[in-house]
Amino acid sequence: MSCKTCIQDYIVLRDGCYPGGTPVPTSCFYVEDLEGLSVENVASIAPEKLLSATNTVIEKLKFATIIVESRLRGILQARGLQLNTTGKMYHACSPNATTWGAAPFDKGLYISKNWLGSPMSAIWIESVKIKPTVTGQTEIKVKDVSGTVLFTTGAITVQGGVESTISIRKHFYEQQIIVAADNTNIGVYEYTCNENTSCKPCAGKSEYFSVQGWNGTAVSVPGFLGVCLRLDCTDKDIICQFLDRQGIALAILYQLGAEILKEWVSPNNRLNIIKIHGTEWATTKTKDWETLSIEYLDNEIDSIMQLMMADKYCYNCTGRLRATPLLP
């Protein structure tokens, strides 16, 4: 299941058991806001693996959010928005005659989309090019600016004096990333990277996508790798953009209630008798709450589309003519 950190503490049990006490829900809604639901009766139907009402709500919130997000994608696509598109492939940096000796640093490139106000854009790294001075082992890493490794090839052997291409084929959603190679065992050829010729994905503007060198500790004029990359638009975690919308909060709240009630009336439930309400009530409420979830979501669509059209790269860019559909 997709793990969305953006929904942590989005909807909580008012009387739940949370480390450090019950948090204030970021949506301002509690499970108990739904009639008939309380910590006691949620606890009574908690599956054995979840142990408690609190864990049940956390798990069911994940399901509810994914369901609402899936509906949101379907509605937006039906309204004509292309949520997944690919940009133009860009071949950045080329080797020159200057060489650098082996050193205990990860040298390479600093890639940024920092000036691009497009939360759904993602850097796609197709491949990385490296030209070592000697044959030896290295490791290609993609890191965020804090140094956290997002991807690694593991140890690979590259041939001296020959430019090798290493396939990456992965999206990165950070604003800036560092693509680097371990230079402990190999020297490398310097690469020329001209920031002024970086990607121009929208209406001829170059400020959206920058590729510069990285010397192991800071941005540098020369680069130490080549890279094939593009700037894509994806619908990954699109719901996270709109969690502050009241209609989205209500859509998730009612879907969460429906998911809890589904557990309530499940034939596999460990209880045979519902203490507070009967299965007939729960079955009826499940349908009612799912209907309300859909209605609240639908009421937000026009406003969400207006917000998305303000995204000058992904959804409202007449200059990005080379964009092509990307299968979700």
What's the chain's average pLDDT?
A: 83
Query: What pTM did the predictor assign?
Result: 0.75
With cut-offs at 50, 70 and 90, classify the pLDDT of residue 325. Answer: very low
Q: Is residue 206 over pLDDT 70?
A: no
* pLDDT at residue number 267: 58
* pLDDT at residue number 322: 39
Least confident of 11-15, 205-209, 323-327: 323-327
Q: Is residue 56 over pLDDT 90?
A: no
Taken as a whole, the chain contains a residue count of 328
* pLDDT at residue number 156: 96
Q: How does strand 121-130 pair with strand 226-233?
A: antiparallel
With cut-offs at 50, 70 and 90, classify the pLDDT of residue 139. Answer: very high
* pLDDT at residue number 119: 79
DSSP 157: E
With cut-offs at 50, 70 and 90, classify the pLDDT of residue 321. Answer: very low
Which is nearest to 98 in space by CA: 191, 179, 182? 191
Mean pLDDT (whole number) for 103-130: 87
* pLDDT at residue number 141: 97
CA distances from 115 to 173, 229, 303, 310 (A): 14, 17, 25, 15
Mean pLDDT (whole number) for 42-52: 67
DSSP 88: -
Q: Is residue 49 over pLDDT 70?
A: no
User: Which residues, at least 6 apart from 308, have a Cβ–Cβ distance to it below 8 Å?
Assistant: 76, 81, 314, 315
Higher pLDDT residue, 37 or 266? 37
* pLDDT at residue number 272: 41
Domains detected in the chain: 5-82+237-325 (no CATH), 85-233 (2.60.120.820)
Angle subtended at Cα 113 by Cα 112 and Cα 115, rounded to the nearest 5 degrees: 115
Higher pLDDT residue, 48 or 257? 257
pLDDT in tens, 281-307: 677 778 888 888 888 888 778 777 776
Please tell me the chain's helix, strand, coil percentages from 3-state DSSP, rounded to the nearest 5.
30, 30, 40
* pLDDT at residue number 269: 53
* pLDDT at residue number 324: 42
